[in-house]
């Protein structure tokens, strides 16, 4: 039986951790969004869409049947299946009105759920929140995120004119193309490089299978994105907001962009900060990479203590160590891992919180 290093109920501050290593790579999860807006604390977009959304329509009983038949709560998977069925009908010259109605209904329910939980653009503008987050992100080399929301994108765009551009691997046309030599020339540049591991609200797949992002001369707000999709019914939003890690891996495998992002996460070397991620079962595919591929590199992991007891904190730290720290070979030391209080980090300070 493996004997792991002793664990106590203490958490370091970010300042105590920041100077220990050159932390230039970060993985951010939903906790980073919740540090700004409590609306992101939903457990499932599917559950949000499953019921009536104030004045907005959710999933209909017929829509729900498609999710149950596919045994998933993943919108992307169901919309992709319906889109494939529509293309088959086109080839066979068969009517597809019913399919198109379901696609429109499920897409609208998804968008209404997103509108319900997403922080409004005008609210987050106040208090220099985006500037504070952006200042930190511009110190990073690689930013990996499992969040579909727009906070990360907004924060980088806010400082783009003063801090220079960042690289998200989408061309000026909006299309994803990792083979562009422009990207390879900049890959080792210290500018921030952004990877949406599970897609995002402003990233979509078109009828030709290409992955693109919605572009705007102004800051994208969530309502303009939803209006864009409604006016372009052949575009399927690419974000994996639901499902088990196996379902997420299946969706990732069907997308050149998501596969690219996951591969880049696996090949990234050096110390890694994990902020706002529970590293739970639904993200097992990422946990496996951190535990195996990144096993020799130091980790700094945020924990939001809140009302957590000492026993609960020790239990959480022990679980993370067990999952991320393989037993070292004889004569080798345990992996370097630091746990810090998320509220002491620039992405988690209390002044960011809206409501």
Average pLDDT (337-355) is 94
Burial-class residue 52 by CB neighbours within 10 Å (0-12, 13-18, 19+). exposed
pLDDT digits (tens, 9 = 90+) for 145-158: 999 888 999 999 88
pLDDT digits (tens, 9 = 90+) for 33-47: 999 988 887 667 788
pLDDT digits (tens, 9 = 90+) for 163-208: 988 989 898 888 998 676 556 666 677 899 999 999 998 898 888 8
The pLDDT-based confidence of 1 (bands split at 50, 70, 90) is very low
Q: What is the pTM of this model?
A: 0.86
Distance CA 308, CA 306 (A): 6
Q: What is the mean pLDDT of the chain?
A: 85
* CB of 67 closer than 8 Å to CB of 78: yes
Domain boundaries along the sequence of the chain: 14-37+128-220+236-352, 41-118
């Amino acid at each position: 039986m493996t004997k792991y290093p002793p664990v106590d109920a203490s958490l370091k501050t970010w300042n105590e951790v920041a100077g220990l290593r050159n932390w230039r790579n970060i993985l951010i999860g939903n906790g980073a969004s919740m540090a700004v807006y409590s609306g992101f604390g939903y457990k499932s977009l599917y559950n949000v869409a499953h019921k009536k959304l104030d004045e907005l329509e959710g999933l209909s009983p017929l829509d729900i049947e498609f999710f149950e038949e596919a045994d998933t709560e993943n919108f992307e998977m169901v919309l992709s299946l319906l889109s494939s069925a529509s293309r088959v009908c086109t080839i066979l010259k068969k009517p597809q009105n019913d399919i198109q109605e379901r696609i429109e209904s499920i897409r609208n329910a998804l968008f209404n759920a997103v509108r319900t939980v997403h922080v409004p653009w005008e609210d987050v503008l106040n208090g220099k929140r985006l500037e504070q987050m952006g200042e930190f992100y511009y110190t990073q080399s690689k930013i990996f995120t499992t969040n579909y929301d727009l906070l990360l994108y907004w924060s980088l765009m806010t400082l783009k004119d003063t801090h220079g551009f960042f690289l998200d691997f989408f061309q000026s046309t909006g299309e994803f193309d990792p083979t562009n030599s422009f990207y390879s020339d900049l890959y080792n540049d210290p500018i921030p490089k952004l990877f949406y591991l599970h897609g995002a609200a402003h990233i979509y797949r078109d009828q030709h299978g290409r992955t693109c992002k919605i572009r705007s001369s102004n800051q994208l707000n969530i309502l303009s994105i939803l209006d864009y999709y409604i006016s372009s019914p052949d575009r399927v939003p690419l974000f994996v907001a639901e499902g088990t890690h196996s379902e997420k891996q299946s969706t990732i495998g069907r997308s050149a962009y998501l596969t690219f992002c996951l591969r880049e996460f696996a090949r990234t070397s050096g110390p890694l900060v994990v902020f706002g991620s529970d590293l739970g079962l639904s993200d097992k595919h990422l946990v496996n990479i951190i535990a195996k591929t990144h096993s020799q590199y130091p980790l700094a992991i945020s924990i939001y203590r809140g009302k957590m007891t000492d026993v609960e904190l020790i239990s959480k730290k022990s679980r993370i160590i067990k999952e991320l720290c393989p037993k070292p070979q004889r004569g080798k030391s345990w992996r370097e891992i630091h746990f810090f209080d998320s509220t002491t980090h620039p992405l988690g300070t209390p002044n960011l919180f809206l409501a």
